[in-house]
Chain A
Amino acid sequence: MMRFLLLFSRQGKLRLQKWFTPITEREKKKIIRDMTTLVLARQPRSCNFLQWKDLKIIYKRYASLYFCLAVENQENELLALEVIHRYVELLDKYFGNVCELDIIFNFEKAYFILDEFLMGGEIQETSKQMVNRSIEASDMLQEDDSSEWYEVELFG
């Protein structure tokens, strides 16, 4: 099972956090600090896997964002790399050439996409097309439902 997924920039600013187990706010802050320190200290061409407490940390850098995924000890690290890559592909398809700014200004969309791909610490859907279709349908449902005002703010 996956324990948490963090996205942060090269300066250590958090862009997305998804926790798959209940943790107190204080713990979360501590973990975020630890992760950013650990990952940002790594050399450019080093191994993508770390051991931290009793979890395996898999991280990958995409442009200016670090994707950091923590899994339990019996998980397959190489597959975790693929999970991160799949999420990036989904974001890319949705936003069209996604960059960090997209995720900053549309963070709630990033969460909605994540919630269609992963759930309860496990992969929910293995087909890219299915995830994309679900997101599009949900967005349309939201559009039908809302007034003009939303269209401007949330889809801007």
Chain B
Amino acid sequence: MSPSVPLQEMIRAIRSARTQCEERGVIQRECAAIRAQFRQSDNGGRSHNLAKLLYVHMLGYPAHFGQMECVRMIASPRYSEKRVGYLGAMMLLDEKQDASLLITNSIKNDLSHSNQYVQSLALCTLACMGSAEMCRDLAPEIDRLLQSSNSYIKKKAALCAVHIVRKVQDLGELFVPAARSLLSEKNHGVLHGAVVLITQLCERNPETLKRFRKVCLVWFFLQTVPDLVQIMKGLIISGYSPEHDVSGISDPFLQVRILRLLRILGRNSESASDAMNDLLAQVATNTDSTKTVGNAVLYETVLTVLDIKSESGLRVLAVNILGRFLLNSDRNIRYIAMTSLQKIVGTDHNAVQRHRGTIVDCLKDQDASVKRRALELSLALVSASNIRSMIKELLLFLSSCPPELKAQATSGIFIAAERYAPSKRWHIDTILHVLTTAGGDVRDETVPNLIHLITSASELHCYTVHKLYRALLTDISQQSLVQVACWCIGEYGDLLLKGECQETEPVQVSEDDVLDALETVLQSHMSSSATRGFALTATMKLSTRITDNVDRIRSIVSIYGSCIDVELQQRAVEYNALFKKYDHMRAAVLERMPLIEKNNSGNANGEATRETLTETNSSRTAQEERVPPPPQQQPAKQTYDLLDLLGGASEPLQQSPAAQTLPIITSSSAGGDLLDLLGGLEPTPGPVTPAPSATVYEKDGVTLTLSCEQQSDSSLAVTLTATNASQSDISGFTLQAAVPKSVQLNMNAPSRDSLPAQGAAQLTQLVMLNNPNKVNLKMRIRISYTRQGSAFQDMVQVDSLPGLGAAGHT
């Protein structure tokens, strides 16, 4: 066996490896040597072996065989070995590993060691990776250390207590007296720790508090407000203190933490807010804002002022500071200014409006983060008075916008235009402009919305159709635009051919030109199937609106009677029939569409939730996560056939079933009212009834409920919810499911894997089932978990899923 190389030589050897393969070879040899060394008894080189292993671990190689060595080294009397052992524990062990329980005893012993550096190692490790059990075990010890006379230990104990409170919320009460008394310390480290601890105690989850019937501690700590104010004043006014000075600010870290705690305490309390007013004004005016440090303190002050019940003068001061930040040359400062302004744009709208010019300028900034913030803020600032100029700026932004922001920008512009459009013509122009610039990133329901808008603006039909025709001639790649253009030409082709229009220059358009344009769309490989559908129907409609080229139309339509695309083929065949057998009805069928009633209510299609207009800005991520329910094509097809015979094809019907992602305004599939006349045909996914649920398992305090939701004909979403009403925590909770053979099962990740006692939190897991053969749906669920160190396993069989009827059929 080759001798193991000392740590730094090993690092050198690894770095000089020229290929990945060579590196792996060196590391394998080293690891083998290290493993052999671990097996030997104490040989004096233990700590540097472990250090080598930790280096290898950082490079990404497996190092789990070092876990037991860490445990052994922590128990060693030598400080050097303890140090590396604890470092190893923090890097290799976490609360999920079993070995971590083994170091609890060592930590307990080291916490009462005579040497403060050993104590500090134990405290650091506990704060880094202490599990809930370890925290419960050692909390009294930490409380004792909080009251020791050694400030080095006190400050570490305070942060350890913070970790404990985060892990086990109900232990907070234990540390309250100590936390209170620590505020009278002079040592900044201890003060900082105390402020963090009090903040943590005040920020405890109110839900958890209710469950344990514990009190929210904010009211208790309100008494500390005068002390905190005193400490802050001391920091601001006192002379230069070299130990804590950072570019002229005395201990900015402590200042920021105190300001944050004041924010929490003053949030709901008038008296506390009053007590802080002077101080905040002082900090806001006296802090030097030339360096980042000063700005950090000012930023925190502004956030505090805006959050507590401050007087209006102070609020104005805060918003002005943000305004100054907006003009700062440093990008970071501008970014955070906009983030803060976003928070208050709802409440202090006018104050933020004053800075609109600067914000709009930031749209042109090079930096992507700044651009994003500027976009969100600009959209929030659009109002009836500034709509024209703002939309102009936003359209300019759209043309040079980075692709990840395009969808947000287009939807924002549409919402704003919808709300504040000064005239219909402006509205239509704006939408057309967006479609030409960023047609690929608009939402699916833009097309029906636009069509609705156009039909309602009857005086603009001529203008619109001319404009769209021109747009069509220039570019047929933007699908939404082409669809709308085809529809318009189909509807208002006669106005186009008449040639005169007040609002645009007259242009002579012949029937052949129009049919050429539509044919180009039909034949282009860029056109999607839906677009071609639009174009074909438009061509058909023109047969009643033009006089000379009806034969041409007839020939186009008959060609598509043998098209591969089933949709087009069906349409063409039907139109052919209209020419041949029902020619007497043709004029009536293809006459102008009546004004479509748009259903503005949020729950048009019986979907459970819809986002409101104001939330759309912050909901981009939600948009991506939302899964659209599968479109119901069948009923749509049926109604389409019926519609065709009764009153003009409504192409938008094709689009809307598929477009379920966050519609801004839901339009019932256009022609919804016509459908109602036909007797309640549902063109969209069936109404969602609240999912019925049933308890399938109940034992030892663990309850499992199951609820089903029919997603479509054969797919089913099953939600499993587990709660733990017993007195002890459960960890490692996993569910496994089995279903009959032909059914496909897909389990999503569970929301958590531990169940705290007394129902503090519940676990949900979504299971997607696909039952194409419509077999009797049964499910077998295996539950396994660990409680108080021992593993449990159980199985339950569910013979009928709730909400599906006794036979389990859909």
Contact = CB atoms under 8 A, between A and B. Distances in A.
Task: Please say whether chains A and B are actual partners in one complex.
Answer: yes
Contact of B189 (A49, A82, A127, A147): A127
B336 A126 contact: no
Nearest to B296: A78
A62 to B, nearest CB: 15
Contact of A149 (B44, B127, B192, B367): B44
Interface string A29-58: 100000000000001011111110000000
B370 A47 contact: yes
Interface stretch (B75-83, B570-578, B593-601, B691-699): B75-83
B188 A126 contact: yes
Nearest to B193: A124
B366 A145 contact: no
A85 B87 CA distance: 23
A138 B155 contact: no
Interface string A107-144: 11001100100011011111111100010011001100
A79 B252 contact: yes
Interface stretch (B53-61, B267-275, B390-398, B655-663): B53-61
A96 interface: no
B130 to A, nearest CB: 9
B292 A81 contact: yes
B253 A49 contact: no
B246 interface: yes
Contacts of A46: 331, 366-369
B253 A120 contact: no
A17 interface: yes
B163 interface: yes
Given A82-B292, A115-B124, A156-B8, A126 B251 contact: yes
A37 B188 CA distance: 38
A22 B130 CA distance: 9
B336 A153 contact: no
Interface string B282-304: 00000000001101100110010
A124 B189 contact: yes
A23 B94 contact: yes
Nearest to B96: A22
A120 B162 CA distance: 8
Contacts of B253: 79, 82-83, 123, 126
B11 A119 contact: no
A150 interface: yes
Most buried by A among B45, B55, B127, B293: B127
**Chain A interface residue bracket vs B:** 35 or more
Contacts of A97: none
Given A82-B252, A120-B163, A77 B336 contact: yes
Interface string B185-200: 0001100110010000
Nearest to A16: B58
A124 B80 contact: no
B166 to A, nearest CB: 8
B624 interface: no
A152 B256 CA distance: 43
A152 B370 CA distance: 50
A73 to B, nearest CB: 10
B48 interface: yes
A14 interface: yes
Nearest to A83: B253
A153 B8 CA distance: 7
Contact of B55 (A49, A82, A107, A154): A107
Contacts of B193: 122, 124
A118 to B, nearest CB: 9
B95 interface: yes
A147 B46 CA distance: 12
Nearest to A147: B44
Given A29-B60, A125-B189, A126-B251, A119 B128 contact: yes
Nearest to A152: B6
Interface residues of B, number: 72
Interface in A1-34: 1, 14-17, 20, 22-24, 29
B38 interface: no
A81 B370 CA distance: 17
B332 A81 contact: yes
Contacts of A134: 117, 120, 152
Given A120-B128, A124-B193, A79 B44 contact: no
A154 B48 contact: yes
Interface in B122-157: 123-124, 127-129, 152, 155-156
Interface in B229-271: 243-244, 246, 251-254, 256, 260
B47 interface: yes
Given A108-B87, A112-B87, A122 B159 contact: yes
A95 interface: no
Contacts of B781: none
Contacts of A156: 8
A119 B124 contact: yes
B129 A22 contact: yes
A125 B192 CA distance: 8
B332 A47 contact: yes
Given A76-B256, A123-B253, A150-B80, A48 B296 contact: no
Given A119-B128, A126-B254, A127-B189, A145 B78 contact: yes
A154 to B, nearest CB: 6
25 contacts: A14-B59, A22-B129, A47-B332, A76-B303, A78-B292, A78-B299, A79-B252, A79-B296, A82-B253, A82-B296, A108-B51, A108-B54, A115-B87, A115-B90, A122-B162, A126-B192, A130-B243, A134-B120, A141-B115, A142-B83, A145-B78, A145-B79, A146-B47, A153-B8, A156-B8
Interface of B: 6-8, 11, 15, 44-45, 47-48, 51, 54-55, 58-60, 78-80, 83-84, 87, 90, 94-96, 115, 117, 120, 123-124, 127-129, 152, 155-156, 159-160, 162-163, 166, 188-189, 192-193, 196, 243-244, 246, 251-254, 256, 260, 292-293, 295-296, 299-300, 303, 331-333, 335-336, 366-370
Given A14-B58, A22-B94, A146-B80, 9 more contacts: A22-B95, A22-B129, A76-B303, A78-B292, A78-B296, A82-B252, A86-B246, A145-B79, A149-B48
7 cross-chain pairs, A with B, having the tightest CB-CB distances, nearest first: A78-B296, A120-B127, A120-B163, A22-B94, A46-B367, A47-B369, A79-B296
